[in-house]
Amino acid sequence: MIKLFIIKCYLTLFSPEDISIFVDNENKLCIEDSKQNYKQIIQLDQSLNVTDFQTTFVENGVIISINKKSF
């Protein structure tokens, strides 16, 4: 099944680092900074294919909003 993630990152004025978001080989959504330090954020599992979800959290001064739509 194809998963569509619409991910928005709002960097604060105090957080100039480049942030990338990706899914690692353990099927976990991760955030990575420019120093290649990354942290696993959320476990992606089959239940996410069933319903849409939205989550917002703060990681190192970065507000991250994740919207997931199932098709």
For residues 26 and 60, give the distance between their C-alpha atoms in angstroms, rounded to a whole number: 23
Residue 12: what pLDDT?
Answer: 43
Residue 35: what pLDDT?
Answer: 64
Residue 25: what pLDDT?
Answer: 73
Number of domains in the chain: 1
Residue 2: what pLDDT?
Answer: 46
Residue 11: what pLDDT?
Answer: 43
Domain with 54, as residue range(s), is: 3-70
Q: For residue 41, which of 25, 19, 22 has the smallest C-alpha distance?
A: 22
Helix (H) or strand (E) holding 2: none
13-63 pLDDT per residue, tens: 335 456 666 677 776 667 666 666 655 555 555 444 444 555 666 666 666
